[in-house]
Structure 1
């Protein structure tokens, strides 16, 4: 089932999410709905707060980005094949490498894309959809998508990384999003 994505301005996007246990109600159906919602919205990641659930759960499919990179971009991140994974109760253990800019966007903040600087690599511990624990290091575009979705479960948004002047310049667009004065081609839940 395709779910509504919560728009900028909703409080849930600013809350630190809670861990869940394997007996979380209808977890497998929720995960399936998140995948369906993400793909229907042309996203590469989706975090539970974006569907109004303040829990530490997100899904990532960076394969679709990596498979469509230009040749010169592939050289920048050798070995990044992309992933399609579920992350439950994730905790970042370490980051490394130089910060690099990439134009990020967000399904909860439609029609805004800005350069965000993030480290090259992330080491993260998480559970998969079967509650099997993993500890892995990701780099390149995959790390970027993980950082972005991880921020959602921490109550942060990509616009928080922008310089104050840039944020002031975007204020009108952000206000329009929070007031529902935009059109998107996916289901959105705007603040009242």
Structure 2
């Protein structure tokens, strides 16, 4: 699933600390950013693999800030760049784990690492998506996830998550490779999710599909 990257991420053994000063860091990003409307299923940018980020500059930093602002407006726990119409492999998150610990951060050029068999315990909880507003469906995913990628300066990083946060990491990594959670559902469940979306009203600004 992952594209080849010129990276030494395999040399990074430690996971980032994304719980320290979580509230202050999220607020700083959000106050620098501008909220943008959310793209919804059917928009082409959501259904193709995004481009690798190669320029770690001020434009990228502004995108991350805008994504945090957009995520807060939509009251989400994770957001990928293509969900605000930007073709780039970036996602941000502000998500609790199953112990209620708040994780705040972002990953550039994320790659979901393969789990050893003994860590593949499936959780069949409900899942939703800002790009499929008002719809939810049960989806089995591993309750532990590790994502490697880059920070805004281009340094390699690794993030680990359990429970609900693990689901978030997998969900957002899927986004940058052009896959929505409803694409993992059975045809019947996918149809039901789209029906829920059609019958509901988004609580945040969205981009209409012409």
TM-score range relative to shorter protein:
0.7 to 0.9
* Equivalence for 1:166: 189
Match of 1:147 in 2: 170
Q: How does 1:1-192 map to 2 (within 5 A)?
A: 1-23=34-56, 26-63=59-96, 66=97, 74=99, 81-95=101-115, 96-173=119-196, 176=198, 183-192=201-210
Please say if residues 38 and 44 of structure 1, whose CA atoms lie closer than 8 Å, have aligned partners that are also in contact: yes
Q: Is the 8 A contact 1:17 1:155 kept in 2?
A: yes
For structure 2, the 5+ residue unaligned runs are 1-33
C-alpha contact 2:132 2:194 (8 A) present in aligned 1: no
Asked whether the 8 Å contact 1:59–1:85 carries over to 2, the reply is: yes
The RMSD of aligned alpha carbons is 2.0
Question: Distance between the aligned counterparts of 2:77 and 2:158, measured in 1?
Answer: 21
Instruction: Answer whether contact 1:15 1:54 (CA < 8 A) is retained.
Output: no
The count of residues paired between Structure 1 and Structure 2 equals 174
TM-score, normalization by structure 1: 0.82
Aligned to 2:7: none
Q: Which runs of 5+ in 1 are unaligned?
A: 67-72, 75-79
Between 1:34-43 and 1:132-141, the stretch displaced more is 132-141
Instruction: State TM-score, norm by structure 2.
Output: 0.75
